[in-house]
Amino acid sequence: MYRKSRTTYLINSFRDYQCNCGEAEMVTLVWYPHHKKIRNLIYRYGSKTEQRQEALRLMEQSTPMCRNCAAKFEHGLEPFIL
Ligand SMILES: [Zn+2]
């Protein structure tokens, strides 16, 4: 199910953040390491659901990071010190 507002919501969740490498373009950012789960929760469930709250909790436990840095991080090449 595709809802544009939910896609926008996920992108806007990075509004006050940037990657430690300086990347601030919101569409390149991910919530590391829980991004896939957060994205699925937001895309599948509405704003008034328990699942949305779960997504927000996962965001609190994650670090906003650009896709480049997330890829490096996954392979043990630490792009910066957390
Ligand atoms: Zn980065």
Strands 29-32 and 63-66: antiparallel
Report pLDDT for 39.
97
Report pLDDT for 4.
85
pLDDT means over runs of 10, the chain (82 residues): 83 96 96 97 96 98 96 81 56
Please list the helix, strand and coil fractions of the chain in percent, rounded to the nearest 5, in that order. Answer: 50, 10, 40
This prediction has a pTM of 0.87
- Quote the ligand 1 centre to 28 CA distance (angstroms): 9
- Quote the ligand 1 centre to 38 CA distance (angstroms): 19
- Quote the ligand 1 centre to 5 CA distance (angstroms): 26
